Amino acid sequence: MDSLTLLYDCKTKVLQRFFIAKNNKQKHRFLHVPRKKWFEKEIEYQIAEDGTYLQFSMNYHRVVIQLLTWGIALAQRNGECFSEHVYQRAYQSVNFLYQCQELSNGYLPNYGSNDGALFFKLNDSDYRDYRPQLDALHYLLTGENLYDDVYEDRGWYANNRNCIHAEFAPLKQKIGCISFDVGGYYLIREQDTLTFIRCGKYKDRPAHADNLHMDVWYKGENILMDGGSYKYNTDASDINYFMGTQSHNTIMLGNNNQMLKGARFMWFYWSQALKASIQELDDSYCFSGVVSCFRQLGHDIAHSRKIIKKKMLRNGWLRILF
């Protein structure tokens, strides 16, 4: 059973208790449902302290955002609650995705596996626009709008003033260097540009062979992009391309991926971050990272990458050295 299926199963069976209950005398049973504890444990395990997600996928992370919104909203309306770490991880999840977002269109880097999953299509926005889902959970946790526009998803969850869990500060997008060290993601944001860098360790199965990948966005356009996903059930060459290193903005050794491809979603000889740092200098931002990779070819192989993002010049030109 994959992580999302397990999470959804726990969530569904917990929430069924609310619908089964006919009066307030039965609601106390919610606190003793074993699946509620399973759900809480899964949230704590699947979402890291910095809000990053173990399936290494923006799209799958959005599915979790919807499940959290549904569960928290329904619990609030029934006078119940989850353990505090569920709310903390929910808030940090919104923060991580929001910091990676292009506000002009709501898009995020097309990072990780993307099979088109969107459990609850509650609006007419573009599929890659994450604003409706992030706004709904943010409003539930803070009582404030995340964007200038208000999106209808919050209404479908009945997120009115009577059911919000407003215990967190409203989020703002940060400018400059932004680090998510636990998950292994590093951002450089200026007014018109976003640089997204992957440099992480794996304790759970990696999805793509993409360590030290870099995305670059300029005025809402994804200039250097992640190849994304195509089909999970296709020929070996397409699977190798989209899940492999070739579709990412990082290096290969000949025709070799950073890791050895196994059957279906499996990888062997996982790449691992050895060092990562990011800092702001007087005229630039500098990221340095080292990963252990290509271990199927030799155990002492490492890839070191340094990315220097020059600060935006007065004439508007963008320069990246790497």
Confidence of residue 229 (pLDDT cuts 50, 70, 90): confident
Q: What are phi and psi of 56, to 5 degrees?
A: 50, 50
Please check the confidence at residue 318 and state whether its pLDDT lies above 70.
no
Q: Is 247 helix (H, G, I), strand (E, B) or coil?
A: helix
Taking alpha carbons only, the member of 15, 17, 153, 41 closest to residue 94 is 153
Please check the confidence at residue 5 and state whether its pLDDT lies above 70.
no
Please check the confidence at residue 260 and state whether its pLDDT lies above 70.
yes
Helical packing angle, 131-142 and 84-99, nearest 10°: 140
**pLDDT tens sequence across 274-315:** 999 999 999 999 999 999 999 999 999 999 999 999 987 655
Stated as kind and residue range, the H or E segment containing 7 is helix 3-20
C-beta of residue 67 within 8 angstroms of C-beta of residue 7? yes
Q: What is the pLDDT of residue 230?
A: 85
30-34, 223-227, 282-286: segment of lowest average pLDDT:
30-34
Q: What is the pLDDT of residue 21?
A: 46
Q: What is the pLDDT of residue 162?
A: 59
CA 229 to each of CA 8, 212, 282: distance values in angstroms, whole numbers, following the listed order: 23, 18, 38
The DSSP output letter for 256 is: B
What is the mean predicted confidence (pLDDT) over 135-163? 86
Please check the confidence at residue 29 and state whether its pLDDT lies above 60.
no
Q: Which residues contact 163 (CB under 8 A, 6 or more apart)?
A: 73, 76, 77, 140
Please check the confidence at residue 22 and state whether its pLDDT lies above 60.
no
Confidence of residue 216 (pLDDT cuts 50, 70, 90): very high
**pLDDT tens sequence across 164-195:** 677 899 999 999 999 999 999 999 999 899 99
Please check the confidence at residue 62 and state whether its pLDDT lies above 70.
yes
What is the mean predicted confidence (pLDDT) over 122-127? 90
Q: Where are the beta strands (DSSP E) in 185-317?
A: 185-189, 193-198, 214-218, 221-224, 260-261, 267-268, 272-280, 284-292, 302-310
Q: Which residue has the tokens 């360590």?
A: 211
Encoding tokens for residue 68? 């959290």
269 or 16, which is more confident: 269
74 or 50, which is more confident: 50
Q: What is the pLDDT of residue 116?
A: 84
Confidence of residue 19 (pLDDT cuts 50, 70, 90): very low
Please check the confidence at residue 16 and state whether its pLDDT lies above 80.
no
Stated as kind and residue range, the H or E segment containing 73 is helix 58-77
**Which domains are present in the chain?**
3-156 (no CATH), 176-321 (2.70.98.70)
Q: What is the pLDDT of residue 38?
A: 86
Residue 123 to residue 132: CA distance in whole angstroms: 8
Measure the CA dihedral 104/108/110/114, to 10°.
-110
